[in-house]
C-alpha cells in the first residue's frame, strides 16, 4: 500500500502538530510504506504563504526529502482526470490529489471531511 499525503497532513507531520494522530504519524514514518507528496501540495503551500494564509518557515521540498517522502509529479492524465471528476467540490488542489490517487491506486491520508466523503478513493483518516 502506498500513501499520498494531503497538504495539511504533510504540514502537520513536518511541524509535529498534535492534530496528527500518533497512529497515523507512526504509519507515515514507517519505512515499509511509500509515502508521496504531490507537486500540487508544494504549489498550494507556496500560494497560501504568498497570500498570508499560511505561516510556514520551512522549505517544503527539503522537509519532504528529509522525511524520505517521494515527490509526485502532475501529468496530463492527472489534469484530465481532475477536470473530469463529477464532484461539486471546487478546490483544485483537492481535485488533483483525488485524481492522482485514482490514477495510481494510492491511499489518501487526510483529515478533510469533503475528501473522506468520496467512496472511490481509499482514505486513511489522519485526525
What residues does each domain of the chain span?
2-125
Summarised one tens digit per residue, pLDDT across range 1-26 is 899 999 999 999 999 999 999 999 99
User: Would you give the distance in Å from CA 49 to the centre of its chain?
Assistant: 17
For the domain made up of 2-125, the CATH class stated in words is alpha beta
Is-contact 89 37, C-beta < 8 A?
no
Which has more pLDDT, 109 or 31? 109
Summarised one tens digit per residue, pLDDT across range 78-121 is 999 999 998 777 789 999 999 999 999 999 999 998 888 788 89
Which H or E element spans position 62? helix 60-66
Summarised one tens digit per residue, pLDDT across range 47-88 is 999 999 999 998 999 999 999 999 999 999 999 999 999 877
Amino acid at each position: 500500500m502506498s500513501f499520498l499525503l494531503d497538504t495539511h497532513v504533510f504540514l502537520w507531520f513536518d511541524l509535529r502538530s498534535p492534530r496528527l494522530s500518533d497512529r497515523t504519524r507512526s504509519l507515515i514514518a514507517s519505512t515499509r510504506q511509500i509515502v508521496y507528496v504531490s507537486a500540487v501540495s508544494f504549489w498550494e503551500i507556496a500560494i497560501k504563504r504568498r497570500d498570508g494564509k499560511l505561516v510556514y518557515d520551512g522549505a517544503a521540498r527539503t522537509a519532504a526529502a528529509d522525511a524520505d517522502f517521494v515527490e509526485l509529479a502532475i501529468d496530463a492524465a492527472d489534469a484530465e482526470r481532475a477536470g473530469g471528476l463529477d464532484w461539486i467540490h471546487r478546490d483544485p488542489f483537492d481535485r488533483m490529489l483525488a485524481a492522482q490517487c485514482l490514477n495510481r491506486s494510492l491511499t489518501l491520508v487526510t483529515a478533510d471531511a469533503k475528501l473522506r466523503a468520496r467512496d472511490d478513493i481509499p482514505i486513511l483518516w489522519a485526525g
